[in-house]
Chain A
Amino acid sequence: MPEELAVRIEDLSIKYKINVDTKRTLKNAVMRASKGERVRTRVVEAVKHLTLDVPHGSVLGIVGANGAGKSTLMRSIAGILPPTEGRIIVNGKISTLLALGVGFNPALSGRDNIILGGLASGMTRDEIEAKTEEISDFAALPDGFIDMPVRTYSSGMYGRVAFSVAVNMTPDILLLDEALSAGDASFKEKSFNRMRELCKEARTIVIVSHALATINELCDSAIWMHKGTMLAKGKPDAIVDQYLKFLDVGALPSNFEDM
């Protein structure tokens, strides 16, 4: 793989089986077996034959409707979901901030959660402790909140801590899935600045967002995914325009306000 690439995705396909039955219990399984019924499953093809190179120091935006496979793609780059076909080569340390919460334990304090997250991502205790101050300063929570249980946080505070952890782990590759909606205008400004800083240090960012203005403002290239395939790739404004046309709403200002 060429040295200037951070991520190379070669003909990637990801399929997984989902269980259609609502209650996945042993009791139901035994009942079904006794009636001779088969388990009802459905194969989801989340990503289909996707090939993509992301160079170091670039910011890639991914747009697409719900169910386009954006989050699955992010998870596979992070190494959480293995490919069904194809290959992903990742060159550098990854930090993720993916959708569906951040893995915080609500009973533990923000500080404890930061330490746990760092250890899970493979940092040593000393490394993560050196970072904790930086992270809590960046999140700028009201006095003393960093040592209080996460369940006492407002959703904005929660999102700010999560974002601070992701950007302050000095990742080579930062994966953000709908992570920029947290926080107020001033925090947003701060996060944008932090991300630009990361880019200057030749770090790579991949952003999934429905806030198209964010994609336009931060990214230097974008892709549009639809039902698992990559429909278009190019300059962010061109991609966003195409995507909006596809959505058949035109470039209405309302779409730019939801960031």
Chain B
Amino acid sequence: MSGPVKNSDFVSKIQVFEPHKAALPPLVPYFKEFWKRRAFATELARFADKAEYLDSKFGKVWLVLNPLLLAMVYFLLVTVIRGSSSKNLGLTTLAHILIGLFTFYFAQNCISAGAQSITAGGRLILNQAFPRALLPFSSTISAFQQFLPTIPVYVFVIVVGKHFFPTTQVPGLTWNYLWVPFIVLMVGLTGFGLALLFATMNVYFRDTNKLLTYMTRIWLYLSPILWQPSMLHGWHKMAIYLNPLGPVLSATSDVWINGKSPSLTIILGSLFWAAFAILFGGYFFISRERDFAVRI
């Protein structure tokens, strides 16, 4: 035990709680506290996986297997609808659906887990004061950890595929893969921002999460995953830019499938949506989070 507490020990620890005149609480202390407790978010993500047995071997396999099987189903569907195509095009389509789905799933997991993080963390919220954004942030970390093992799976499929179809357009090792961290960061930021938005909505309307299931399914079809962005012409190209994940999924196609770096408009589009999601979702969340304790 430490000795008697001297008054001088307290000087730096004074906290003042006052009514907030503006909608937002003071942001500098908020982010300081957020940063100070980042270990809480990472541990929570790890423990959440533990609680769902996702850290067991089979749990991890399932995480990869689920999008992989879905990709197979979509691949069959797309090739059947489009009719017979050359074998080389087949591998390209498969590769495109795979990497598109894996990337989309990353964002979707951020959002769906993040949307429930506040309502599920009720007791913690009633008992302790901490920046609530840590809870959806933890979901984002969790989604990222689930996304990581899908990359080697993709690489494996492509390496095997290239062995059997050496003339395929799917690129081998190029410098363009240096764009991947940027893409992953943009997906993560957009996902986190939207998670903040839907987490707040879920506190006010408890059926938001059900709605989200349908929304993400429709969103998946509207995104360039089952179809290539190059299939759009003229003003139809707007469909890419109106979709929060559109630009970043186009960049995914460019880098992983076409073996080129994304165009400037695609990069700017990705940056815009990531910034917009974080700012809009963040404002919506932080300005309302002091209300959560009475609404949970």
Among listed A97-105, A222-230, A232-240, interface-contacting one:
A97-105
> Taking the complex as formed, is B7 at the interface, i.e. its CB lies under 8 A from any CB of chain A?
yes
- Asked whether, in the complex, the Cβ of B43 is within 8 Å of the Cβ of A81, the reply is no
**A103 vs B296: C-alpha distance in the bound complex, in angstroms?**
13
- Asked whether, in the complex, the Cβ of B294 is within 8 Å of the Cβ of A81, the reply is yes
What residue of chain B has the Cβ atom nearest to residue A88's Cβ?
B17
Q: Which residues of B contact A122 (CB under 8 A)?
A: 33, 36-37, 130
Residues 97-141 of A, flagged 1 when their CB comes within 8 A of B and 0 if not, give 110111111011000100111011110110000000000000000
Q: Which residues of B contact A97 (CB under 8 A)?
A: 127
> Taking the complex as formed, is B167 at the interface, i.e. its CB lies under 8 A from any CB of chain A?
no
What is the distance, in angstroms, from A215's C-beta to the closest C-beta of chain B?
22
Q: Which residues of B contact A115 (CB under 8 A)?
A: 43
Residues 119-140 of B, flagged 1 when their CB comes within 8 A of A and 0 if not, give 0010111111110001000000
**A87 vs B293: C-alpha distance in the bound complex, in angstroms?**
19
What is the distance, in angstroms, from A109's C-beta to the closest C-beta of chain B?
9
**A203 vs B4: C-alpha distance in the bound complex, in angstroms?**
8
**A103 vs B123: C-alpha distance in the bound complex, in angstroms?**
4
CB contacts under 8 Å to A, within B196-240, are 201, 204-208, 211
- Asked whether, in the complex, the Cβ of A3 is within 8 Å of the Cβ of B7, the reply is yes
- Asked whether, in the complex, the Cβ of B17 is within 8 Å of the Cβ of A100, the reply is no
- Asked whether, in the complex, the Cβ of B5 is within 8 Å of the Cβ of A82, the reply is no
- Asked whether, in the complex, the Cβ of A108 is within 8 Å of the Cβ of B50, the reply is yes
Among listed B8-16, B60-68, B158-166, B245-253, interface-contacting one:
B8-16
**A197 vs B17: C-alpha distance in the bound complex, in angstroms?**
28
- Asked whether, in the complex, the Cβ of B15 is within 8 Å of the Cβ of A25, the reply is no
**A97 vs B128: C-alpha distance in the bound complex, in angstroms?**
9
- Asked whether, in the complex, the Cβ of A89 is within 8 Å of the Cβ of B16, the reply is yes
> Taking the complex as formed, is A85 at the interface, i.e. its CB lies under 8 A from any CB of chain B?
yes
**A1 vs B10: C-alpha distance in the bound complex, in angstroms?**
12
Q: Which residues of B contact A4 (CB under 8 A)?
A: 7
> Taking the complex as formed, is B86 at the interface, i.e. its CB lies under 8 A from any CB of chain A?
no
- Asked whether, in the complex, the Cβ of B39 is within 8 Å of the Cβ of A121, the reply is no
- Asked whether, in the complex, the Cβ of B130 is within 8 Å of the Cβ of A120, the reply is yes
> What's the tally of chain A residues with a CB closer than 8 Å to chain B?
60
- Asked whether, in the complex, the Cβ of A90 is within 8 Å of the Cβ of B208, the reply is no
What residue of chain B has the Cβ atom nearest to residue A95's Cβ?
B128
- Asked whether, in the complex, the Cβ of B51 is within 8 Å of the Cβ of A108, the reply is yes
Contacts A105-B51, A119-B40, A122-B33 known; A201 to B124 CB distance under 8 Å? no
Q: Which residues of B contact A81 (CB under 8 A)?
A: 290, 293-294
What is the distance, in angstroms, from B113's C-beta to the closest C-beta of chain A?
14
- Asked whether, in the complex, the Cβ of B124 is within 8 Å of the Cβ of A103, the reply is yes
**A82 vs B208: C-alpha distance in the bound complex, in angstroms?**
26
What residue of chain B has the Cβ atom nearest to residue A19's Cβ?
B295
- Asked whether, in the complex, the Cβ of B39 is within 8 Å of the Cβ of A124, the reply is yes
- Asked whether, in the complex, the Cβ of A116 is within 8 Å of the Cβ of B47, the reply is yes
Contacts A98-B126, A122-B33 known; A89 to B14 CB distance under 8 Å? yes
What residue of chain A has the Cβ atom nearest to residue B205's Cβ?
A26
Q: Which residues of B contact A76 (CB under 8 A)?
A: 17
What is the distance, in angstroms, from B9's C-beta to the closest C-beta of chain A?
8
- Asked whether, in the complex, the Cβ of B1 is within 8 Å of the Cβ of A96, the reply is no
**A119 vs B134: C-alpha distance in the bound complex, in angstroms?**
11
- Asked whether, in the complex, the Cβ of A87 is within 8 Å of the Cβ of B43, the reply is no
What is the distance, in angstroms, from B175's C-beta to the closest C-beta of chain A?
38
> Taking the complex as formed, is B3 at the interface, i.e. its CB lies under 8 A from any CB of chain A?
yes
Q: Which residues of B contact A100 (CB under 8 A)?
A: 123, 126-127
- Asked whether, in the complex, the Cβ of B205 is within 8 Å of the Cβ of A80, the reply is no
> Taking the complex as formed, is B152 at the interface, i.e. its CB lies under 8 A from any CB of chain A?
no
> Taking the complex as formed, is B267 at the interface, i.e. its CB lies under 8 A from any CB of chain A?
no
> Taking the complex as formed, is A188 at the interface, i.e. its CB lies under 8 A from any CB of chain B?
no
Cβ 8 A contact of B127, one of A96, A125, A197: A96
What residue of chain A has the Cβ atom nearest to residue B20's Cβ?
A82
> Taking the complex as formed, is B2 at the interface, i.e. its CB lies under 8 A from any CB of chain A?
yes
**A68 vs B59: C-alpha distance in the bound complex, in angstroms?**
48
> Taking the complex as formed, is B184 at the interface, i.e. its CB lies under 8 A from any CB of chain A?
no
What is the distance, in angstroms, from A128's C-beta to the closest C-beta of chain B?
9
Residues 18-44 of A, flagged 1 when their CB comes within 8 A of B and 0 if not, give 110001111101000000000000000
**A233 vs B280: C-alpha distance in the bound complex, in angstroms?**
47
Of the listed residues B25, B208, B294, the one surrounded by the most CB atoms of chain A closer than 10 A to its CB is B294
**A88 vs B204: C-alpha distance in the bound complex, in angstroms?**
28
> Taking the complex as formed, is B181 at the interface, i.e. its CB lies under 8 A from any CB of chain A?
no
- Asked whether, in the complex, the Cβ of A78 is within 8 Å of the Cβ of B205, the reply is no
- Asked whether, in the complex, the Cβ of A117 is within 8 Å of the Cβ of B205, the reply is no
- Asked whether, in the complex, the Cβ of B13 is within 8 Å of the Cβ of A80, the reply is no
> Taking the complex as formed, is A91 at the interface, i.e. its CB lies under 8 A from any CB of chain B?
yes
A-B contact pairs, 7 of them (CB 8 A): A29-B205, A97-B127, A102-B123, A116-B44, A119-B37, A119-B43, A125-B39
